[in-house]
Chain A
Amino acid sequence: MAAVCVYADLVAVAVQALAGSGVHVASVATAFPSGRASLRTKLADVAEAVSAGADEVDMVIDRGAFLSGRYAAVLQEVRAVKAACGDARRQVRLEAGELATLDNVRRASWLAMVGGADFIKTSTGKVNPASTPATVLVMLEAVRDFAGATGVDVGVKAAGGIRTAKDAVRYLVLVRETVGQAWLHPDRFRFGASSLLNDLLMQRSKQRTGAYAGPDYFTLD
């Protein structure tokens, strides 16, 4: 199931616009994208999004706490946000570009999953590098091992830096190779598709007409 992701103040607008379409509304929260606010503010942010009708809540982990080794603080925050989400599904963004090493990506993935994330996500899309195949591979391996250890399936979202359909296919191959066919489903693997969508539309129209249209025929938003 696709979702439209907006800031918390626009959740109500999006819910109204998408009513009956089957498209979910996701809201970024917890002082997106920096994650720099008190826990009280972050939880208020979440509560606002949920009460406005968001189906999914996106949080970012506290990279400051993580990089200084206060893993318990990160875990506590993930759990507190989970509790505030109620029935809404909760995605945890790791901001892999700021985690610096693949070991950290693995550790942060594990913290997020132990904290109860339904989805783990590479990045906010605001930091470069965002999603790289290596990062996603490590996250997929973490998800696979978590499922093996606990029986809980957690989804992965690759966001940021995936701009073309060809890039996307490379990621889908990674998914198929690492966690198998079952993960090739929107409930378990997703793209952050802001710029990917336009390329996909362009490729589809090329398949239909046999020729590429100019980029101006596809909207830039």
Chain B
Amino acid sequence: MTDWDYAPAPESRDVVRLRSSYGLFIDGRFSEPVDGSSFKTVNPASEEVLAEVAEAGPGDVDRAVAAARRAHTDVWGPMRPAERAKYLYRVARLVQERSRELAVLESLDNGKPIRESRDVDVPLVAAHFFHYAGWADKLQHAGFGPDPRPLGVAGQVIPWNFPLLMAAWKLAPALAAGNTCVLKPAETTPLTALLLAEILQQADLPPGVVNVVTGAGGTGRALVSHDGLDKVAFTGSTEVGKEIARTLAGTRTRLTLELGGKAANVVFDDAPIDQAVEGIVNGIFFNQGHVCCAGSRLLVQESVAEPVLDSLKRRLATLRLGDPLDKNTDIGAINSSVQLDRIRELAAAGDAEGAQRWQPACQLPDRGYWFPPTLFTGVSQSHRIAREEIFGPVLSVLTFRTPAEAVEKANNTPYGLSAGVWTEKGSRILWMAQRLRAGVVWANTFNRFDPASPFGGYKESGFGREGGRHGLEAYLAEGNETLGPPKAELSGDGARHG
């Protein structure tokens, strides 16, 4: 019989109309930056330049924050909550209508497989807007006092791993609660946020309610340190999160941080192995491992370590790495050369510290940034690959003998974002969930997201929750708090509040 190999099945790029250059989205319009500087965004699968994107400087951030303040004071703040909900519903529907365009553009700019951008990212974006649209006129029932009020203007900085989804996680709750936003997408993945800005225009969202300032670290720094903000929300690395926390310490600006992780995925000896293997694969190879809650440490009970690893290796050998736009691709491109260097550096540290590297036979494309699915066995808790976030398709495998040892090893990390438990015993799942210091504990599944479910970290994984009712808290002031506009705006002296 002829071999049933997978023929190429690329999704067409035609649905996306790329512009050669993109401006900043401020006050409802696209405009050029004050000093005219720009940067390039590339397709990480081919290193092809996709577009020139404006780089916002402090003057542009000023304009964006001022536009957001005006929109909050004049339009969005006073608007009836049910009216705000209508806008959010409209955005959700437009995201659904233009889902293919968004998915293709996301895969082009980020490098993630179309299967994921199409089936995970974009549907969750729509679901998030739908979910928070429903909250907009029910805020007094959310448990944050009888008369919760918006904070005002939120500055939001998001990462490159789920560019559009993170924009939705930030914007939807903020808008539903009556805030206005200045969003800074990551410099390697600005395009879907800009397409979302077009969708907001299409939805007739009043000018200034959402502003998108593109740029790199400098733009982000200008935004989070801007004294016209009432709230900063950041998702990204722990290193940058700490810097932002230092910047905002002692100011009146509220802060939530969603940072790194080094999640333990704990497989007990009674777990269904084939199912657990699928979960392990999904835990660490979903989105090339560019996931803050990735199950990057596999803790497997010693008595089943061998069959689990055998099954895992067999499964890894079937993963298809390559063109992100191919519908059969499991593993796409690493988002940037910088990230690829970091993954290589940490994998080399794994070799140097004595762990055993295993990679399936895997042809890497000639151009673009790629790293094959990798697992390390013989890893100990002290190895860098067990302690540091790799943010790539690299799994560190450790073993344990007793449930108590599993808990101890799982919690022995500076992070605490997520964890997974694989067992057929419901009682053991609950026992583990009580003891794991992680914001999310998945039982017999991994990397499952829903807009109704809160998400966030312990320890160096950050604070504050996003999603669900909990996600509103970061954007609401209780009725008895007095939250005036920032002093800077009243006096015009630009001084930061103490």
Contacts and interface: CB of A to CB of B under 8 A. Distances in A.
A141 interface: yes
A177 B1 contact: no
Contacts of A172: 4
Contact of A173 (B4, B274, B310): B4
B318 interface: yes
Contact of A141 (B1, B3, B274, B310): B274
A176 interface: yes
Interface in B1-40: 1, 3-4
A133 to B, nearest CB: 14
Contacts of A152: none
A96 B69 CA distance: 64
Contact of A177 (B3, B274, B310, B318): B318
A37 B59 CA distance: 88
Contacts of B1: 181, 184-185
A181 B3 CA distance: 6
Interface in A128-178: 141, 148, 172-173, 176-177
A200 B302 CA distance: 49
A176 B274 contact: no
Nearest to B274: A141
B111 to A, nearest CB: 24
A204 to B, nearest CB: 17
B4 A184 contact: yes
Contacts of A176: 4
Nearest to A175: B4
Nearest to A185: B1
Nearest to B4: A176
B4 A181 contact: yes
B143 to A, nearest CB: 40
Contacts of B274: 141
A176 B274 CA distance: 16
A104 to B, nearest CB: 13
A176 B3 CA distance: 9
A186 B400 CA distance: 44
B409 to A, nearest CB: 28
Nearest to B272: A103
Interface string B272-310: 001000000000000000000000000000000000001
Nearest to A148: B310
A141 B4 CA distance: 19
B36 to A, nearest CB: 53
Contacts of A173: 4
A176 B17 CA distance: 38
A194 to B, nearest CB: 22
Contacts of B4: 172-173, 176, 181, 184
Contacts of A184: 1, 4
B436 to A, nearest CB: 27
A141 B278 CA distance: 13
Contacts of A185: 1
Nearest to B307: A145
12 contacts: A141-B274, A148-B310, A172-B4, A173-B4, A176-B4, A177-B318, A181-B1, A181-B3, A181-B4, A184-B1, A184-B4, A185-B1
3 smallest CB-CB distances across A and B, nearest first, come from A176-B4, A184-B1, A141-B274
Interface of A: 141, 148, 172-173, 176-177, 181, 184-185
Interface of B: 1, 3-4, 274, 310, 318
Given A173-B4, A181-B3, 10 more contacts: A141-B274, A148-B310, A172-B4, A176-B4, A177-B318, A181-B1, A181-B4, A184-B1, A184-B4, A185-B1
